[in-house]
């Protein structure tokens, strides 16, 4: 997805460029020339892409003191304009914090998903999603079927879909979300999705005992286009967080690789189980 048509990505990209140009110019956040445009707290939000709108005048002012080129300024102003346009998710009731994840997911080159307690959103059937709604705090994570449908189409059926490694557990497959018919359809759907060349879908069966991801679910996102650094996404009842430090990346990659070695393919699981009822 182009950063010219995605306001969240445009805001994040604009903030990253502004930080890069400030540091290149050798200016600290507390420099009087910088604080004249934005105080330290606001500057931090701007550079993190956490402001709802960037003023055109601020972009020009930053460009002036950072000594950026004409081409760099043209890029910044194009991003500023894109940041004001509505994204596809604005037609739905999606929490603002979740729009960042939706954006990152849509431009990732690889997704390594470990979701233990339930079927991850990208692979949920509408009936499964509907059955989960009443258990989702404040409709957290865009559980609305319309959001899921748009999201799945964008990521799974786009022109250049990402490589996906998805690990779930037998617990998620055996839990009767929506009843036996829904769960059987969900299992069949997972088997079908795993036939795609870019998707590897593994199951951690009860019979294997403990596994390396028993502490919780997580997702590692990779980006070939430089939109973001490799990022670990962690979600909880009261919010989510993103980790980009090398220490966290190495830790979660190590755990993910060990968990991957413990899993069996969804086809192997389905052939052995036959039914989830």
**99 vs 95: which has the higher pLDDT:** 99
Cα 103 → chain centroid: 6
Q: pLDDT tens digit string along 43-56? A: 998 988 878 778 88
Task: Tell whether 28 and 148 lie within a shared domain.
Answer: no
Whichever domain contains 65, its CATH number is: 1.10.260.40
Ordered strands of the 110-114 beta sheet: 239-243, 231-236, 218-222, 110-114, 163-169, 199-204, 264-265
- The reported pLDDT for the residue numbered 277 is 47
Domain boundaries, position 160: 91-273
CA–CA separation, 277 and 33 (whole Å)? 67
Q: Which one of 85-94, 197-206, 231-240 scores highest in mean pLDDT?
A: 197-206
107: left (phi over 0), alpha (psi -120 to 50) or beta: alpha
CA–CA separation, 56 and 165 (whole Å)? 41
Task: Tell whether 76 and 106 lie within a shared domain.
Answer: no
Task: Tell whether 103 and 240 lie within a shared domain.
Answer: yes
**Number of domains comprising the chain:** 2
> Do 161 and 155 contact (CB within 8 A), yes or no?
yes
What average pLDDT score do residues 10-21 get? 89
> Do 107 and 223 contact (CB within 8 A), yes or no?
yes
Q: pLDDT tens digit string along 102-118? A: 888 988 999 999 999 99
Containing 174, the helix (H) or strand (E) segment is helix 170-174
Whichever domain contains 149, its CATH number is: 3.30.870
Q: What is the pTM of this model?
A: 0.74
What average pLDDT score do residues 245-249 get? 94
């Amino acid at each position: 997805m182009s950063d010219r048509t995605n306001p969240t990505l445009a805001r994040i990209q604009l903030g990253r460029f502004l930080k890069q140009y400030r540091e290149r110019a050798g200016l600290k956040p507390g420099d009087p020339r910088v604080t004249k445009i934005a105080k330290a707290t606001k500057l931090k939000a701007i550079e993190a892409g956490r402001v709802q709108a960037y003023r055109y005048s601020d972009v020009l002012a930053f460009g002036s003191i950072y000594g950026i080129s004409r081409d760099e300024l043209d890029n910044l102003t194009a991003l500023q304009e894109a940041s004001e346009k509505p994204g596809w998710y604005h037609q739905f009731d999606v929490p603002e914090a979740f729009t960042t994840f939706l954006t990152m997911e849509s431009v990732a080159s690889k997704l390594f998903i470990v979701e233990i307690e339930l079927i991850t959103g990208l692979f949920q059937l509408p009936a499964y999603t509907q059955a989960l709604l009443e258990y989702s705090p404040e409709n957290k994570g865009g559980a609305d079927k319309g959001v899921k449908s748009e999201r799945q189409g964008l990521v799974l059926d786009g022109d250049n879909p990402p490589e996906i490694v998805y690990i779930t557990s037998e617990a998620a497959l055996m839990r009767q979300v929506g009843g036996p018919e829904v769960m059987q359809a969900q299992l069949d759907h997972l088997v079908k999705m795993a036939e795609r060349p870019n998707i590897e879908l593994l199951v951690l069966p009860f019979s294997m005992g403990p596994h390396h991801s028993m502490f919780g679910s997580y997702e590692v996102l990779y980006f070939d286009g430089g939109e973001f650094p490799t990022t670990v996404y962690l979600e909880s009842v009261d919010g989510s967080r993103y980790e980009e430090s090398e220490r966290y990346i190495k830790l979660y990659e190590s755990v993910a690789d060990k968990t991957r070695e413990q899993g069996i393919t969804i086809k192997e699981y389905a052939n052995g189980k036959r039914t989830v009822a």
